[in-house]
Chain A
Amino acid sequence: MARALYYLYRALLGAPATFLAWFRERWEKMDLFDESHVAEARTNPWFTLGGMWYWVWMLVIISGVVLMIYYVPVTDQAYHSIERIQFNWRWGPVPIGGMVRGLHKYGADAFIILATMRVYRMWFTGEYKQGNEFSFIIALLLLIVGMYSGLTGYLLIWNQRALWATKVMATFPTYLDQNPAWLPGGALINWTNQGKTTAQILLGGTSIGPATVTRFYAFHFMLSFIPMVFFELRVYRRGFKRMNLSHWSKLAVFGIILAIAIMVPAALGSPANPEVTPNPILSDWYFLAMYQFLKLQDPYLATVLTVSIPFLVLGSMFLDRRPERAWGQRQIFNWIGIGGLIYFVVFSFLILNGIADIHRDAPIWYYTMGLFLLIGYGQDWAYVMARDGKRWYQTFHGFFVAFILVAMSANTLYHYFGDIRERNILAKEAMPRVLAQLQAVNPAAISDQAFDWLEKNRPAMNLWLTSHTGPDKPPGMELWRVHVALWLLIIAAGTVVGLVRWGARQEALAQAAAAKAKPKAKAV
């Protein structure tokens, strides 16, 4: 342990220089739009995604500039100005307005599809390895920028979907003011009211008002245009070809988007009405899965998790440190990608059809998430065993598996035995019987009284108290505390063991270096 700490200290001393060298190498290798994959693109269409992506981005910006001429970014005129652009599109005040708007909208959709496909290509082929981390980070960052540009874009129409998406989006940051007391610095952030201030900046006031659409217009423009300026600067300095794409391919992409724009005119929805939330109300397609995700849990947690998705992706990228890039040799990471894709598709499907059961489903999703990781880990375990010719117990990562198992059980228990009475499966099953007995005595008895009775007379059902403890309830054994303690224990033990092993490896390396250096010294 002491040796390990010594090597850690030395590594920390050298960290700035190491980081600078690391950064420089990756900055040089950074690939923005597959411009360094010219040879691959000739035979493999997956490598034309970058060029197509950039081409679509240009189309969107050009059509957006045309729309700018006619669009009025003021809350009470936005919808009508778009109506004016969309209809009368042949002879009206805006020639081919509907077509240009369709090009803009479907171009933006294509941008997000291509960006997603490219991120997945890079993920599944391990393209971020061998010093290409920055290319992946840029690809992911541009996907997120594209999604936010899309969000701020569909808000500009100021129809019902836009209004309610704006409300949800502006309410999100207010949860920044509701950090739990145990979080370090949480109370300070709560005191400064960052969340409310951010919401006010987004809305241009304390509520949705005349300035709101103007603000979103500025955000939309900024998000779409500024990354392109940076990209053009890099093209100018490095002098590579912008789009690794033949003119015919460009024409084909343009033709497909234009054909869709003409055949399926971009939707307009009904004008925003702050008094009625339509039922159902849906976001644009790329946010549907996250929308469904929000229904399943506490909003503070949901906000934190939603914001941390990209960071989790980047974090797991940095965990994939082996040099292997072949499909069968990095199964955990494949399963992370497959899992993400499955959740995206299934959640979107569920919300579109309105068939999810939010009381039943959450533990299933948590379970499958752990299951994907365990399957991936099992395959990886087998691979490493075969690769290194070792026995099964020599390559087993007990801490990792324990961590996942604890996570799976925590979420399942939380959902099935939670103290919130209507969500507690045991209480829900027992309630009708209790109600029948109560009604035998008093015909006016209601379910609420049955739940009360259960709470008083069957305390075992509340053994697994989760988060809520009122004045009428003893704090008891709070499940999440037990699980957090278990987690921290596993993480601490894993860190110590890992550190000791790392120290031993450093020691061996140092000894090998010394043994190499010795004969040289003698020769001199």
Chain B
Amino acid sequence: MQENQRRLFLKTVTSLPILGGAVLAVSAILRYFKPTAMGGPAGLVAPPDQAGSADQPVAALSELTKPWDFKDFIYIRQSVEYSSRKVQGAKIPGFVVRLPDAQADPKDPKTKYLVVQRICPHLGCTFNFVKDPNELAGSYNYNPPAPTHPYFACPCHLSVYDPTRKQEAPLIGPLPGKVVSGPAPRPPRTMSFDIKDGQIVITGTEGGGVG
């Protein structure tokens, strides 16, 4: 009897740390199920994940004078990372496009410009700005209806976006860049921008997408 109780005591004492270790191990796995990146209504990554990125000028207005002038740029988005630097900069490629005046609101100069991320919302390739309708038909499997204008088109899975039209994106609202061909589920991700000293300055980006 005595013997058994001693055994029981010893067994309890040894099993407690083992159990504790097991709980710790399981908790590390369970941690995986606790949300880190918050997918808010706009698909935006919430502050704990996204470190502040400084405003970055990306294009001069003098480069975008005629309709359908465009410029591609790289915006560096900082995100929190478990490294010695604490943050990691993701390169987010983007496009500024000067829209035709008919598309813009004459009172608001910002509506003359369309700024989007070039990361395809389908599976993350970088899409192009295609001006030639023959190239669209040949390489991107899309015959634009006449009269034609340039489109955004992705070489990977052939999604084509129309910069002149808007489409309802789930939980966000209407966005420019309606999907007119291919498998993309929504228009391109957006960037917020300001016009300062004749420059287009990016002030923030929509989250999601692999940079």
Contact = CB atoms under 8 A, between A and B. Distances in A.
Interface in A144-199: 164, 167-168, 170-172, 174, 177, 190-194, 196-197, 199
Interface stretch (A11-19, A65-73, A106-114, A271-279): A271-279
A206 interface: yes
Contacts of A398: none
B36 A168 contact: no
A171 B93 CA distance: 16
A294 interface: yes
A499 interface: no
B210 A170 contact: yes
Interface string B180-205: 11111100000000000000000000
A41 interface: no
A203 B210 contact: yes
A120 B179 CA distance: 39
A207 B123 contact: no
B123 A172 contact: yes
Contacts of B165: 448
Contact of A207 (B33, B158, B184, B211): B211
A294 B39 contact: no
A278 B125 CA distance: 10
B88 A209 contact: yes
Contacts of B156: 164, 168, 277, 281
Interface stretch (B5-13, B52-60, B61-69, B138-146): B138-146
A274 B126 contact: yes
Which interface residue of B81, B156, B168 has the most chain A CB atoms within 10 A? B156
Interface in A258-299: 274-281, 291, 294-299
Interface residues of A, number: 55
Contacts of B88: 205-207, 209
Contacts of B139: 279-280, 354
B209 interface: yes
B20 interface: no
Contacts of A174: 208, 210
A171 B183 CA distance: 14
Interface in A289-329: 291, 294-300, 302
Given A277-B128, A357-B141, A448 B164 contact: yes
A447 interface: yes
Contacts of A422: 180-181
A356 B49 contact: no
B122 A299 contact: yes
Interface in A200-235: 200, 203, 205-209
A197 B182 contact: no
B73 to A, nearest CB: 10
Contacts of B210: 167, 170-171, 174, 199, 203, 207-208
Contact of A295 (B74, B81, B183): B183
A332 interface: no
B205 to A, nearest CB: 12
B175 interface: no
Contact of B145 (A300, A302, A447): A447
A274 B181 CA distance: 24
A364 interface: no
Given A167-B210, A207-B90, A200 B37 contact: yes
B158 A190 contact: no
B88 to A, nearest CB: 5
B126 A275 contact: yes
Given A279-B128, A446-B147, A299 B185 contact: yes
Contacts of A208: 90, 210-211
B38 interface: yes
Interface residues on B, range: 35 or more
A74 to B, nearest CB: 13
Contacts of B91: 207, 274-275
Contact of A297 (B33, B124, B181, B183): B183
Nearest to B141: A358
Contacts of B157: 291, 294-295
Contacts of A177: 39
Contacts of B123: 167-168, 171-172, 294, 299
A465 B36 CA distance: 37
Contact of A300 (B124, B168, B185, B211): B185
Which interface residue of A167, A197, A199, A291 has the most chain B CB atoms within 10 A? A167
Nearest to B93: A275
A519 interface: no
Interface secondary structure of A, over-half rule = helix
A470 B166 CA distance: 12
A171 B35 contact: no
Contacts of B209: 171
A276 B37 contact: no
B127 interface: yes
A431 interface: yes
Given A164-B156, A274-B93, A422-B180, A170 B164 contact: no
Contact of B183 (A168, A302, A357, A470): A302
B38 A193 contact: yes
A359 interface: yes
B155 interface: yes
Interface string B112-151: 0000000000111111100000000001010001110000
Nearest to A469: B168
A431 B168 CA distance: 23
Given A207-B90, A281-B155, A167 B183 contact: no
B181 A359 contact: yes
Contact of A164 (B32, B81, B125): B125
Contacts of A281: 125, 155-156
A194 to B, nearest CB: 7
B135 to A, nearest CB: 9
Contact of B125 (A209, A277, A296): A277
A206 B49 contact: yes
Contacts of B122: 171, 299
Interface of A: 164, 167-168, 170-172, 174, 177, 190-194, 196-197, 199-200, 203, 205-209, 274-281, 291, 294-300, 302, 354, 356-359, 422, 431, 435, 446-448, 450, 468, 470-471
Closest 10 CB pairs of A and B: A207-B90, A447-B145, A279-B155, A207-B211, A171-B124, A167-B124, A206-B79, A168-B123, A277-B126, A196-B37
Given A167-B125, A192-B35, A297-B183, 11 more contacts: A167-B210, A193-B39, A199-B210, A206-B37, A206-B81, A206-B88, A275-B72, A275-B93, A299-B183, A358-B181, A422-B181
5 contacts: A171-B209, A206-B49, A280-B139, A294-B123, A448-B165
